[in-house]
Amino acid sequence: MTRPTKIVVNCSTGAQEEVELTDAEIAENQRLSEAHAAWQAEETAKQEALMAAKQSAKDKLTALGLTEEEALALVGVTQQPPL
């Protein structure tokens, strides 16, 4: 398996050189990739929790006698969220 590479550009001369990543650079890229995946999972979970809370609020408001449109307007949903 070949090692990942990067392009190094000398801005003074415009010369480009393809250089293999060091072990430290590979480890840092892996760490950043894992951190991003964890952040993305957290953001997805937050969004799903928010949508569930809005659906719950809408359900409670319609149980009190509001129309679905009125309930959606109060909870800040412009359309029915997907379940």
Cβ(24)–Cβ(15) under 8 Å? no
CA 81 from chain centre, in angstroms, equals 19
pLDDT digits (tens, 9 = 90+) for 44-63: 999 999 999 988 998 999 99
pLDDT at 67 over 80: yes
What pTM value is reported for the model?
0.64
Grouping H, G, I as helix, E, B as strand and the rest as coil, residue 54 is helix
Q: How far is Cα of residue 32 from the mean position of the Cα atoms in its chain? A: 14
C-alpha of 51 from chain center: 15
> CB of 55 within 8 A of CB of 80?
no
pLDDT band at residue 35 using 50, 70 and 90 as cut-offs: very high
Q: pLDDT grade, residue 74 (50/70/90)?
A: confident
Give the pLDDT confidence score for residue 83 in this predicted structure: 54
